[in-house]
Amino acid sequence: MSKPNLEKGICAVCGKESEYTHVCCSACGATSYRYCLQCLNAGIEPYSALVGMDLYYDQVNDNFKDYILNPSLKFHNKTVEQFNADVKKLDDDMRAYFEQQREGV
């Protein structure tokens, strides 16, 4: 296993600057963020990445809930209800966007 390439940067999760950050793939999908070691080790993801999965809380599998989603919601001070409302808002915004695009054709 290669040694992680640690460098000074701003964590995408907590927003703090750290001497030791690492850019790696998010657990939320095919995208990468810069994580400080504290957030990386705790499995905390950026809130926008969690909402961006476009899955409601009950659609997420239990392992993901236990190791990623629940600790992340706690870190971001979000309830399950707030999370589901933000996913619904994303759904509504995307639906409106696509309907607008279709009307434009």
Contact positions toward Zn ion, by CB under 5 A?
11, 13-14, 36, 39
| 2's tokens | 């290669």
Q: Which is nearer to Zn ion, 13 or 73 (CB)?
A: 13
Q: Quick one: 39 or 53, whose CB is closer to Zn ion?
A: 39
> How near is the Cβ of 94 to Zn ion at its closest, in Å?
28
Residue-wise DSSP of the chain? -PPP--EEEE-TTT--EEEEEEEEE-TTSS-EEEEEHHHHHHT---HHHHHHT---GGGS-HHHIIIIIHHHHHHTT--HHHHHHHHHHHHHHHHHHHHHHHHT-
Of 41 and 61, nearer to Zn ion (C-beta) is 41
Please, what is the minimum distance in Å from the beta carbon of residue 59 to Zn ion?
26
Shortest Cβ 56–Zn ion spacing (Å): 26
